[in-house]
Structure 1
C-alpha cells in the first residue's frame, strides 16, 4: 500500500506527459497536412478569405478561432509564376496537472509553399 501511494503519482504524471507529447506531435502532423492542402488554394488563385476559411474548417484540433493563418504575399501582390506561402500556428494546451503553470503552452507551427498558377 505504501509503495503504491509513493509511486502512483509519479506514474500518473508520466502517463499524462506521454499523452501531452502525443497531442503535440499529432497537432504538428495535422498542421503540416493542413498547410499543404491550404496552400493549394493559393496556388489556384483563390482569395485570402477563402484560404483562411478553408484552413479553419480543415483543422480539427480544438477552437478554430485559435488557429492563426498567415499568407505571404497577400492576395493583391500575388502574380502567376511566383510563390505563395501559408503558415499555420496553433497553441496546444497541456492536460498534465502543474505543468501548465510551470511551462508556457507550446505553439505548433507548419508552413507550405507552392507556385501560383
Structure 2
C-alpha cells in the first residue's frame, strides 16, 4: 500500500475549506434574497399556509377577528371560507347558510375586515 503524503492531505482539506467558505458566503445571499422578495415561494404553499403567512406578517386580519367584527357567526352557519386573490388584492369569501336556509356569500377585505359585498 502506498501512504498518502502530507501534501495530498493539505489539498483535500484546502479544497474542503474552499467549498465550506463558498457555501458560507452563498447561504446568507440566498436567505436575504428570499427575504427581499418575500413571496416567491408562496405559490408552493397550501391555501391555509398562505393565509397563516399573510396573517403572521400582519397583511391580513385573522379570520376569527373578521367574523367577530361583522357578527357573521350570528347570521347562520359558516359552511365555507376561502382567501382568494382578486385583481392583486386578497379577499375573504365566506359562504354562510342562513337560518332561512339560504346560502349567502360574503366578500370581505381581509386587511380591514370591511364587507365588500354580499351575493
Same fold (TM over 0.5): no
More helix by share: 1
TM class by shorter chain equals 0.3 to 0.5
More strand by share: 2
Structure number, greater radius of gyration? 2
Q: Normalising by structure 2, what TM-score? A: 0.33
Q: Normalising by structure 1, what TM-score? A: 0.33
User: Which gives a bigger RCO, structure 1 or 2 (Cα 8 Å, sep 6+)?
Assistant: 1
